[in-house]
Structure 1
Amino acid sequence: MPVKKLKAFLDENDVKYTVIRHSSAFTAQEIAAKSHISGKEVAKTVIVNVDGKMAMTVLPASYQVDFELLKDIFGSQHVNLATEAEFQRFFPDCEIGAMPPFGNLYDMEVFVAETLAEDEEIAFNAGNHTEMIKMSYADFERMVEPRVFKFSWKTVSMPGDPSERWAIE
């Protein structure tokens, strides 16, 4: 079971955390709603392909990856969303789409959105679609040593305008 590997890693490093069980959910926003946690504190893991190399981005559930900003950060011509076929071999013990943001456990570099790094606590998938782990961001940062950048957008609605707008955060 995926959560066992992650829990063992956290236990070995004396990290305090809580396991939250919820009914099956497949999007970060849905998980936030079912677990009654703010979408800003629920961290979603998005795997990107950077010139043929997989990288893990971690951002709040209510945000989207800005691929143009990532291209600038990486100094790369090609940064796009990785397909399941491209990344599933890196996560043999996880359900697809439920990867925890611990790239260091899966030999993958981790990039965290600046807005998520502002949170005192974060919650994230524990490797399946029915369990998440909640812990302090400071412990997460200590355990993963991610690189923190501004690379995400938050969806906001403008007053009087039924269409969605994007605002950089």
Structure 2
Amino acid sequence: MPAKKLKDFLESRGAKYVSIQHSPAFTASEIAASAHVTGRDFAKTVVVKMGDDLAMVVLPANRKIMLSELRDMIDEDIDLATEDEFQERFPDCELGAMPPFGNLYGLPVYVERSLADEQEIAFSAGTHHEIILMAFDDYADLVQPTVMEFATA
């Protein structure tokens, strides 16, 4: 079952999505392969520190975040957050399986442009054995992320 907060939010907004169960997997590329989703459509969620605050960075599983690019664009000191720094922020999610809905957890969301160019987005649903697949435009309407280019192949 997806994270309760996510499921309640999607259902309250009448969002169209497909829930896909898969064998337990822990890295974005493993999850994408297990669920038969391309790496460019599967979104990995990375939590970063921006000064004293946290933010969510979302990029395709087959790309790597370029923190220096993101720092330059946002003009803020950015570092990867440790699990200890963010795990209590996501009480209904398994560690490392946070859905890219920072708006549900009080975090701004930055999405890599190449992901925004895809028709669909797939992402962990709060567990290591389920993903959600939905239209990217629907995701963007629900989350209102900032779209930028900050990843490399």
Post-superposition offset of 1:63: 0.7
- CA-based RMSD of the aligned residues comes to 1.0
Equivalence for 1:140:
139
Does the CA contact (< 8 Å) of 2:2 and 2:130 recur in 1?
no
TM-score, length-scaled by structure 2: 0.97
Give CA-to-partner distance per residue, 1:115-152, whole Å, 9 cap, x none. Answer: 00001001000001000000000000000000000011
TM-score by length of 1: 0.88
- Distance of 1:87 and 1:146 partners within structure 2: 19
Q: Find the counterpart in structure 2 of residue 66 from structure 1.
A: 66
Aligned equivalents of 2:70 and 2:49: distance in 1?
Answer: 11
Partner of residue 10, structure 2: 10
Identical aligned residues as a percent: 50
In structure 2, runs of 5+ residues without a counterpart are: none
In structure 1, distance between residues paired with 2:31 and 2:116: 20
Q: Which of 137-146 and 88-97 deviates more? A: 88-97
The residue number in structure 2 matching 1:159 is none
**In 2, Cα distance between the equivalents of 1:105 and 1:51?**
21
- For residue 51 of structure 1, what is the aligned residue in structure 2? 51
Hey, what's the Cα distance between the residues in 2 that align with 1:65 and 1:50?
15
The 3-state SS of whatever aligns with 1:135 is: strand
Q: Please name the residue that 1:90 is paired with.
A: 89
Helix, strand or coil at the partner of 2:70? helix
- The structure with the largest alpha-carbon Rg is 1
Report how far residue 79 of structure 1 moved. Answer: 1.1
Question: 1:167 corresponds to which residue?
Answer: none
Secondary structure of 2:55's aligned partner: strand
CA–CA distance in structure 1, aligned partners of residues 139 and 90 of structure 2: 19
Higher relative contact order (CA 8 A, sep 6+): 2
